[in-house]
Amino acid sequence: GQQVMQIPQYQHVQEGEDFTTYCNSSTTLSNIQWYKQRPGGHPVFLIQLVKSGEVKKQKRLTFQFGEAKKNSSLHITATQTTDVGTYFCAHIIQGAQKLVFGQGTRLTINP
């Protein structure tokens, strides 16, 4: 199936620093969804991107979908301790509503 590679696997930052995670595919994707999972919690939907070159913002979070629809990124400006968790990208297999998840990027923050 269509795999999505997510990097880095782990990222540790000082509070206030920026953070970026990348999601890459060898094939064109119809969409990208981003989820956040707090430690000990369950994945929570953040956003969906469907258009080539799309950029969406949620407060300090900026989501991008590449022009070729083969990659996506999530950037957090000025991290806060509440941003701790694992961020997953995922894409839907059309017609089946199945999500294929990336491996996730685990973000830890030094206060």
Partner 1 sequence: DAGITQSPRYKITETGRQVTLMCHQTWSHSYMFWYRQDLGHGLRLIYYSAAADITDKGEVPDGYVVSRSKTENFPLTLESATRSQTSVYFCASSGGTGSNQPQHFGDGTRLSIL
Binding site for partner 1 (CB under 8 A): 1, 30-31, 33, 41-45, 48, 50, 88, 90, 92, 96-104
Q: Which is nearer to partner 1, 20 or 103 (CB)?
A: 103
For the CB of residue 38, give the shortest distance to partner 1 in the complex, in Å.
11
Four-point Cα dihedral 59, 65, 71, 75, nearest 10: -10
Tokens of 53: 């070159």
Torsions phi, psi of 82, nearest 5? -70, -10
Q: Which is nearer to partner 1, 41 or 53 (CB)?
A: 41
